[in-house]
Amino acid sequence: MKPSVKAFLLVALVFLIGAALGTGATLLYMKTHPRSFRVLFFQAPPQTSDLIREEFTRRLRLDPEQERKLLDIWDRYSKRFQAIEDEFKDALRTELEQMREEMAPYLTPEQREFLLERLTRPPRHPLPPPPAPR
């Protein structure tokens, strides 16, 4: 066998081993850390609001006075939106727990375990993020 073929096969083998190990490690992490995985990939990073503010300011070509007034309003409403979102999450969590407790007496232990796991894991096909403003 030619040395170039041996080198190619060796590189291909190393690549396949790396891909298999990377895939296995990712799947293991997803299974053992479902909440952190969901936060990492399906929730907006904390600085998103700042990025939106910057684009808002740049695209509207605000003068300093407009920027100050509008960003004060933006900040006030952002805090209110966050409070609404937190309240909604708490209410949803409470309702899911009540539903699970109401269903539990009618299920076997295995079915209860499946229901608990299903209600706490992230969806398989989350909605895509909205398109970026143009």
| pLDDT above 90: percentage of residues in the chain | 16
Task: Tell me, yes or no, whether 55 and 101 share the same domain.
Answer: yes
Residue 15 sits in which domain range? Answer: 1-34
Q: How far is CA 103 from CA 44, 95, 111, 117, 118, in A?
A: 33, 12, 10, 14, 13
What is the number of domains present in the chain?
A: 2
Task: Tell me, yes or no, whether 28 and 94 share the same domain.
Answer: no
* Residue 22 confidence (pLDDT): 92
Task: Tell me, yes or no, whether 54 and 102 share the same domain.
Answer: yes
Task: Tell me, yes or no, whether 47 and 111 share the same domain.
Answer: yes
* Residue 47 confidence (pLDDT): 62
Looking at the predicted structure, is the pLDDT value of residue 11 above 80? Answer: yes
Please tell me the distance from the alpha carbon of residue 82 to that of residue 71, in angstroms, as a whole number. 16
134 falls within a domain:
no
Task: Tell me, yes or no, whether 47 and 70 share the same domain.
Answer: yes
Please tell me the distance from the alpha carbon of residue 85 to that of residue 78, in angstroms, as a whole number. 10
Q: Considering only residues 27 and 128, tell me which one the structure prediction assigns the higher pLDDT.
A: 27
Task: Tell me, yes or no, whether 13 and 47 share the same domain.
Answer: no
Q: Considering only residues 36 and 80, tell me which one the structure prediction assigns the higher pLDDT.
A: 80
Task: Tell me, yes or no, whether 24 and 51 share the same domain.
Answer: no
